[in-house]
Amino acid sequence: MTASTHDLAPLVLDGVVPYPPEFAQKYREKGIWLDETFTEFLFASIEQHSEDVALIFGDTRITYGQLGERILTLAAGFERLGIRRGDRVVVHLPNIPDYVALVFALYEIGAVPVLTPIALRLHEIGYIVEESAARGYITTAAHDGNDLAALAAELKSSSSTLEHTIIVGSGGLEPLLAQGTLEHRRRSLPSDVAFLALSGGTTDRPKLVPHTHETYLASVRAAAAMTDITSDTVQLVVLPMSHSFAMRSPGYLSTLAAGGTVVMAPNGSPDVAFPLIAEHGVTIVALVPPLALAWLNSSLKLQHDLSTLAVMQVGGAKFSPDSARRVRPELVATVQQSFGMAEGLHTFTRLDASEDIITTRQGRPTTDAEEIRVVDAHDMDVEIGSAGDLLTRGPSTIRGYYNAPQHQHVFTEDGFYRTGDIVVQDADGYLTVTGRSKDQINRGGEKVAPAEVEDLLLAHESVHEASVQGMPDAVLGERVKAFLLPRAGVDPKTLSLPKVRQFLKGKGLAAYKLPDVVELVTEFERTAVGKISKRK
């Protein structure tokens, strides 16, 4: 079904830092980068498994054949709208079957989805639309009590680039489905940017991470090999499908490519997830540590048959060894720790590794092509077993953020990415993550940039200065704490935790970024240059 590509020139997006030609050639010669796009990757499975179930959501079951038809029909609709190769379209949806169909319809025509978590609100989405110069925005009418249709209308009225807003579930897809379908063929090249993801970010705004078809699919294939994904795999997806962990580690992409079944859930709470595992014979799931701990502590695990669950992946934040040791005896499954980032690198503990490895390490790279350095403050390699800053370079790791030259300093001159993580590497290549060198809060796997929250707090009429920091938490790893210096003469009650949270909600801040604790201070400790000290 793949047409000749002689008439396709490489897609050049301004603001994308390319791989040096010698590295690109090396990765292709080694067979790490293949001549394949996202839609070719999926449609090979659609052809082979057309009658098998691809997606399950509630009572809805969608076969591979039905998924392929919907992708091509939606792709035709996007073309009628005037969406073209290289156009950016922000996708802001919960876990629903049309998430997959819409994203792959955009891939089919060569457009570039900008994948955003459903938890983000106007403050963040507005920035992402402008930063990506998006022509389209796709969301649902409402989610978790929030009016996203109104958000879409506000975006369209204020954006200089946004032409199309599509509301899923309120008849918004009908124009796209009204007439005709496309023939599946190659409309983009493997070297094209496939999508833009969001970085965890330590700055005041998320950075856009550009992945090409060949860079990301290399990672997907490697992850599938690490986790024994086959057509018999039944994967439960409870994390947002825009997150890298849910996409490629091995994620829904690996499962669909193998002809397996993806069971989609709105969340991962035990009362939602356990019945789905029992009903559908789920074999693998990916969780962040707070969810994994909730599963372990839930009495519901004794009321449902979870015996088919072979692998519980845990990542996004550090999973305590004590909790990891509980997984096999209490849930039968093998725990597989995963560590990675939107920028590219991801590591896994091997399924056949020793109990000590799988409970105390966060994995090792999936291939030898993923280069790792652990360095000191002078960028000198430390000894094996010593802690240092993690640097990485490889076929799945980007060489720069999208349209963000101001952040190029996090990449070395020879192409290594400074992850901001402090790690220890053992003699077998396994990593143990010991902390963060970047000023970022990791709240249960969700990354919170303090400067973003601080900027909004400073807009409060009662706040003179603000400092947002992470505070240790046994369940989430870290919680968000806001230290506030009130303006002179204000009533402290105006800065109570409920009122501060309500103020930030009104500013459109995502719920997971809201402070868990507010502490009023009379002064801040300062650094030598007069900045607020953030020593924890």
- Residue 530: the pLDDT is 45
243 within a domain of the structure (yes/no): no
Cβ-proximal residues to 380 (8 Å cutoff; 6+ apart), any chain: none
What is the span of the domain harbouring residue 485?
448-520
534 within a domain of the structure (yes/no): no
Nearest to 343 by CA among 443, 219, 238: 219
- Residue 141: the pLDDT is 95
- pTM for this predicted structure: 0.87
61 within a domain of the structure (yes/no): yes
| Domain's final residue, options 144, 169, 189 | 189
Block means of pLDDT (10 residues each) for the chain, 536 residues, are 64 93 98 98 98 98 98 97 98 97 98 95 94 98 93 96 94 88 95 93 74 97 93 97 93 97 97 98 94 92 96 89 92 95 94 95 94 95 95 98 94 96 94 80 87 85 90 93 92 96 95 97 68 63
373 within a domain of the structure (yes/no): no
The backbone torsions φ and ψ at residue 282, rounded to the nearest 5 degrees and listed phi first, read -60, 135
500 within a domain of the structure (yes/no): yes
- Residue 3: the pLDDT is 45
- Residue 263: the pLDDT is 99
Strand bridging mode 112-115 / 334-340: unpaired
Strand bridging mode 334-340 / 346-348: antiparallel
For the sheet with 284-287, list strands across it.
60-63, 53-57, 261-264, 234-237, 284-287, 311-314, 334-340, 346-348, 364-365
- Residue 474's CATH number: 3.30.300.30
Q: How many domains does the chain have?
A: 2
- Residue 526: the pLDDT is 64
| Domain's final residue, options 145, 171, 189 | 189
- Residue 110's CATH number: 3.40.50.980
405 within a domain of the structure (yes/no): no
480 within a domain of the structure (yes/no): yes
If you compute the radius of gyration of the chain from its CA atoms, what whole number of angstroms results? 23
